[in-house]
Amino acid sequence: MGEKSVLISLERKDSYCILSFSDDTSFELGYLDVRKNCQCAKCKPRQINEQMKIEFEEEISRMMLAKPKVEQVGNYAVRFEWPTGCSSGIHSFSHLRKISESSGKKI
């Protein structure tokens, strides 16, 4: 894992979180973006082609996306526990960095 991909803090807000990485870079990342990029065994197969991904994202967008609980998994990932929908996805720090860079807002 690259040095820039080490997550040093995660601050939960109502509709987004603030992720701070070890290279002193921070991002504001919406929970919807995290949820749409879940890589668990239930969600990832629903993203294998463009049409399935669109349907998956539309389904998630219709859900009430309340602030999730967050649990650290070892020294490499976090798990988001959503009140509705999937809670089995493990998001590695490098995966969260990738999502942050593509969908988040650098702060």
Q: Give per-residue pLDDT as tens, 37-58.
A: 988 888 899 999 999 999 998 9
pTM for the whole thing? Answer: 0.86
Residue 46: give the domain boundaries.
Answer: 3-106
- Predicted confidence at residue 3, as pLDDT, reads 63
Q: How many domains does the chain have?
A: 1
CATH number of the domain that 67 lies in?
3.30.2020.30
Mean of the pLDDT values across residues 27-32?
A: 94
Three-state secondary structure of the chain: CCHHHCEEEEEECCCEEEEEECCCCEEEEEHHHHHHCCCCCCCHHHHCCHHHHHHHHHHHHHCCCCCCEEEEECCCEEEEECCCCCCCCEEEHHHHHHHHHHHCEEC
